[in-house]
Amino acid sequence: MSDMNTANYKNAQILCVGTELLLGDIVNTNAAFLSAQLAELGISVYKHICVGDNPERLSRALRDALSETDLIITSGGLGPTYDDLTKETIAAALGLELELHSPSLDRIKSYFERTGRVMTPNNVKQTMIPHGATVFPNNNGTAPAMAAFGGENNSKTVIMLPGPPNELIPLFHEQVKPFLMSHTDAVIDSVNIHFFGIGESALEEQIKDLMINATNPSIAPYCKSGEVRIRVTAKAETHVKAKEMCDACVETIKQSSVGKFIYGIDTKTLENTLVLALRESGKTFACAESCTGGLIAKRITDISGCSDVFLGGCVTYANSVKQNILGVRAETLASFGAVSEQTALEMAEGVRKQTGADIGVSTTGIAGPSGGTPEKPVGTVFVAISAKDYHKCIKLTLSSMKSREYIREVSASNAMHLALSYLNG
Amino acid sequence: MSDMNTANYKNAQILCVGTELLLGDIVNTNAAFLSAQLAELGISVYKHICVGDNPERLSRALRDALSETDLIITSGGLGPTYDDLTKETIAAALGLELELHSPSLDRIKSYFERTGRVMTPNNVKQTMIPHGATVFPNNNGTAPAMAAFGGENNSKTVIMLPGPPNELIPLFHEQVKPFLMSHTDAVIDSVNIHFFGIGESALEEQIKDLMINATNPSIAPYCKSGEVRIRVTAKAETHVKAKEMCDACVETIKQSSVGKFIYGIDTKTLENTLVLALRESGKTFACAESCTGGLIAKRITDISGCSDVFLGGCVTYANSVKQNILGVRAETLASFGAVSEQTALEMAEGVRKQTGADIGVSTTGIAGPSGGTPEKPVGTVFVAISAKDYHKCIKLTLSSMKSREYIREVSASNAMHLALSYLNG
């Protein structure tokens, strides 16, 4: 039982089971997820191994792994069918008998009742667990996860998780993480700081000394389509202490030269932050998109319940549509072109008035790879905002070496950030 | 040298090197890519292994792998810095000396001249290759790829590829694949058949006998957000023969009961197929989106150069916007609701007239997870099309268990498929 287990995990291996991985039908996102989670817990990952639904090779890989580290986390092979053999193979390798686990059987029965499906006898196989294992009930599927113990002084632990990420991820967060934390010396806390308007290398350059010297809390940057996120992670004896350490580090970064680029702390995404800010200020939003072609609207409407602040948008690819729907003037298009500050401003104002929103934003530019000119190369994008008492346009000159996808993502983000900055005064 | 190598590869292992993989900073897409490619070549993958930039563990993993299979493909660790040790470790394991490879040195020099960067002495390290190796020049980076040979009768081959996918993928397609094909008994050809309107399990059910009995050509289904793709792969002595075998199999599937669900052969995506069909028929397209919130427009405008057929779209989230911009009648909204056949049809007609497009499509529905009612549960979506002489609305009843993302993707696909079906008569 877990309370008999006095292990103190320092390092681990991740062993994924599934022929579909070896055929390249699916990408092994579980290994990356588990690795990142273990790194945060201060547990080093030595190796990933991935084998097919083949008991012999699984058995061999497991023995090798157990000879190197005390903790192995597996994913996959816990299903009800004859080729799901992870649990049986691991139990055999650890010298443990399988026993019926009644709470799991009850759980599986009620799961089938709830979903209106018929339980088949092979589902009973899923409720057999190795002697002495700690069971982690699965709220999103039929296969319970578990930790089995073996080796000298029960020093070896094998945690078995189901393969589907929608089962594995909540199981890890809700049950495996607390289990592992109860078997490590320290608790871990982390805080994410979200930046906009500064690149990863410029940010690193400016707070290099801070980053290099940071071991606990550690400071790690992550970059995605023009946004940078910094994760501050602290390890301490208690959560209170770890949180204090994180907060102090966040405060230092806020006070530094990069502080002005922070748009959120522990927020989800830019669009989430915008929707919350709109809701808080009681304002509504609309967008007119040319080069982003619906991406702003798509990202906003990814958020369930955004309809209280998002009224709608127009994708005005053709000039005639910019005129007919948004009321952009023919003279503006003729004098300055569709990709211009003037057109962007008229688009933002047009969509605001047409929809009756408090804030309108717009994008017009060259997303490439074709369509660039010497005056307006690929990567030239105008992003504008219009409110009752405010309007502004910024010009982006993104590298023409960047992909169409990147240019569109960054342009959409800039439009949303413009609205967020306006709301934040 | 490769011409001395008479190996006939049947199985392989993939060994990825990189601490960033073990930290979970990046997902191992290389392993999935290489696995899928090897499967197509008829080479079975036994195992994936991933280790950090640690020569000892790499060496141990390599020795284990070489004891099991004759072919190992590695990715990563070919960079210029001190911790890039894949090549050195592999040469040592195979008992091969490293030698300067002059063509690679020339190549690297001209690469630096071309990109205007300064070559540093540690780039010379990248031009050292194990004695007797076959070099694969890298057009997208400084690290040449290579195949090194060792073991009894040179029966063991280790192919080393750089880690960045934008280098690894073209290297594989252009050089490694032909190399491997020259060392397998056969050539491989494959054809993709794209289906819409039938689920994976229904499709499998209907052509089960065909699929089970298909060994060469093999028939493999892939599924993604409501679309199914079948890949037919044939192995033969010549390309002509392999192609003939694929074509015959495709013909059989076309003639089967699932033939009517095929929308394309070897096409890229549904949106690509639609843009090509619009261009061919000289027709223009516009979309009015409620629940898909800009996703149709976004997917169409992912395609560079779509502006000749795509005029624009409206994202009409609020009812007032449906009325003001699209001209949906207040009575329609009051009598039938925003999520109804009548509203969908008026939206499609409205966007067609407003933009002057030949074809207008629309979506209105409940993408969830909130907003469902007993009469219109989450997953209820109306998708409509309007042309000058044609209009139609279909009702989707997707499972309310599906994610918001899935419901939106499938709804957008249905709208585009409706337009495609209209164009194809």
Cβ-defined contact of B305 to A50 (cutoff 8 Å): no
Q: Rounded to an integer, what distance in angstroms lies between the CA atom of residue A1 and that of residue A159? A: 13
Q: Rounded to an integer, what distance in angstroms lies between the CA atom of residue A378 and that of residue A396? A: 11
Angle at CA of residue B175, ends B170 and B181, nearest 5°: 125
Contacts of A39 in chain B (CB under 8 A): 23-24
Q: Rounded to an integer, what distance in angstroms lies between the CA atom of residue A53 and that of residue A21? A: 10
Q: Rounded to an integer, what distance in angstroms lies between the CA atom of residue A350 and that of residue A324? A: 10
DSSP strand pairing (B11-17 vs A390-397): unpaired
Using an 8 Å Cβ cutoff, are B232 and B193 in contact? Answer: yes
Angstrom distances, CA of residue A129 to CA of A63, A140, A241: 20, 19, 38
- Give the distance from residue A155's alpha carbon to the nearest chain B alpha carbon, in angstroms: 22
Q: Rounded to an integer, what distance in angstroms lies between the CA atom of residue B199 and that of residue B424? A: 22
> How far apart, in Å, do the first and last CA atoms of chain B sit?
57
Using an 8 Å Cβ cutoff, are A315 and A363 in contact? Answer: no
Contacts of A338 in chain B (CB under 8 A): none
Contacts of B321 in chain A (CB under 8 A): 286, 311-312, 354-356
Using an 8 Å Cβ cutoff, are B160 and B74 in contact? Answer: yes
Q: Which residues are paired to A220 by β-bridges? A: A231
DSSP per residue over B370-417, as a string? S---SSS-TTEEEEEEEETTEEEEEEEE--TTS-HHHHHHHHHHHHHH
Using an 8 Å Cβ cutoff, are B229 and B221 in contact? Answer: yes
Q: Rounded to an integer, what distance in angstroms lies between the CA atom of residue A89 and that of residue A67? A: 16
Q: Rounded to an integer, what distance in angstroms lies between the CA atom of residue A258 and that of residue A265? A: 14
Q: How long a stretch of residues is chain A?
A: 425
Contacts of A167 in chain B (CB under 8 A): none
For chain B, the average pLDDT equals 91
For chain A, the average pLDDT equals 91
- Give the distance from residue A32's alpha carbon to the nearest chain B alpha carbon, in angstroms: 4
Cβ-defined contact of A313 to B310 (cutoff 8 Å): no
Q: Rounded to an integer, what distance in angstroms lies between the CA atom of residue A113 and that of residue A106? A: 11
Q: For A110, phi and psi rounded to 5 degrees?
A: -70, -30
Using an 8 Å Cβ cutoff, are B172 and B34 in contact? Answer: yes
Of the candidates A222, A311, A316, which has its C-beta nearest B321's C-beta?
A311
Contacts of B25 in chain A (CB under 8 A): 36, 222
SS3 assignment for B73-136: EEECCCCCCCCCCHHHHHHHHHCCCEEECHHHHHHHHHHHHHHCCCCCHHHHHHHEEECCCEEE
Q: Rounded to an integer, what distance in angstroms lies between the CA atom of residue A416 and that of residue A313? A: 13
Q: Is the dihedral of CA B11, B17, B19, B24 positive or negative?
A: negative
Per-residue tens of pLDDT for chain B, all 425 residues: 444 566 788 899 999 998 889 988 889 999 999 999 998 888 989 999 999 988 999 999 999 999 999 999 999 999 887 778 899 999 999 999 999 999 999 988 887 887 777 787 778 888 999 999 999 999 888 889 999 999 888 899 999 999 989 899 999 999 999 999 888 777 778 899 999 998 877 888 888 888 888 888 988 887 777 788 998 988 888 889 999 999 999 999 999 999 999 999 999 899 999 999 999 999 999 999 999 999 999 999 999 999 999 999 999 999 999 999 999 999 999 999 999 999 999 999 999 999 999 999 999 999 999 889 999 999 999 999 999 999 999 999 998 878 899 999 999 999 999 999 999 98
DSSP per residue over A60-82, as a string? HHHHHHHHH-SEEEEES--SSST
**Count of CB atoms situated within 10 Å of the CB of A181:** 16
The pLDDT of residue A2 is: 41
Cβ-defined contact of A21 to B34 (cutoff 8 Å): no
Residues of chain A with pLDDT under 70: 1-6
A vs B, Cβ pairs < 8 A, gives 235
Q: Rounded to an integer, what distance in angstroms lies between the CA atom of residue B294 and that of residue B315? A: 6
Q: What ipTM was assigned to the predicted interfaces of this complex?
A: 0.77
Give the nearest chain A residue to B68 (CA atoms).
A57
CA Rg, chain A, in Å? 27
Cβ density class B169-205: b for 16+ within 10 Å, e for less: bebbeebbbebbeebbeebbbbbbbbbbbbebeebbe
Cβ-defined contact of B21 to A39 (cutoff 8 Å): no
The pLDDT of residue A59 is: 94
Give the nearest chain B residue to A31 (CA atoms).
B24
Of the candidates A31, A293, A354, which has its C-beta nearest B297's C-beta?
A293
Cβ-defined contact of B312 to A313 (cutoff 8 Å): no
Cβ-defined contact of A320 to B311 (cutoff 8 Å): yes
Which is nearest to B163 in space by CA: B105, B80, B102? B80
Q: Rounded to an integer, what distance in angstroms lies between the CA atom of residue B367 and that of residue A306? A: 12
The pLDDT of residue B205 is: 85
Contacts of B37 in chain A (CB under 8 A): 24
Using an 8 Å Cβ cutoff, are A329 and A347 in contact? Answer: no
Question: Residue B58 contacts by C-beta under 8 Å, 6 or more apart in sequence?
Answer: B15, B17, B51, B77, B85, B86, B89
Contacts of A46 in chain B (CB under 8 A): 22, 51-52, 57
Cβ-defined contact of B51 to A50 (cutoff 8 Å): no
The domains found in chain A, sorted by start residue, are 2-181 (3.40.980.10), 187-265 (3.30.70.2860), 270-423 (3.90.950.20)
DSSP reduced 3-state for A338: coil
Which is nearest to A34 in space by CA: A47, A19, A21? A47
- Give the distance from residue A412's alpha carbon to the nearest chain B alpha carbon, in angstroms: 11
Contacts of A325 in chain B (CB under 8 A): 312, 314, 325, 354-355
DSSP reduced 3-state for A370: coil
Numbers of helices and strands, H then E, in chain A: 16, 17
Of the candidates B316, B320, B404, which has its C-beta nearest A356's C-beta?
B320
* Structure-token pair, residue B338: 């925003």
Contacts of A116 in chain B (CB under 8 A): none
State the alpha helices, DSSP H only, in A46-122. 55-68, 86-94, 102-115
Q: What is the tens place of the pLDDT at every residue in B278-317?
A: 999 999 999 999 999 999 999 999 999 999 999 999 999 9
Which of A15, A50, A296, A315 has the highest number of chain B CBs within 10 A, making it the mutation to test binding with B? Answer: A315
Using an 8 Å Cβ cutoff, are B183 and B7 in contact? Answer: yes
- Give the distance from residue B99's alpha carbon to the nearest chain A alpha carbon, in angstroms: 30
Cβ-defined contact of B48 to A297 (cutoff 8 Å): no
User: Could you tell me where the beta strands, DSSP code E, fall in A319-389?
Assistant: 359-365, 380-387
DSSP class of B10: -
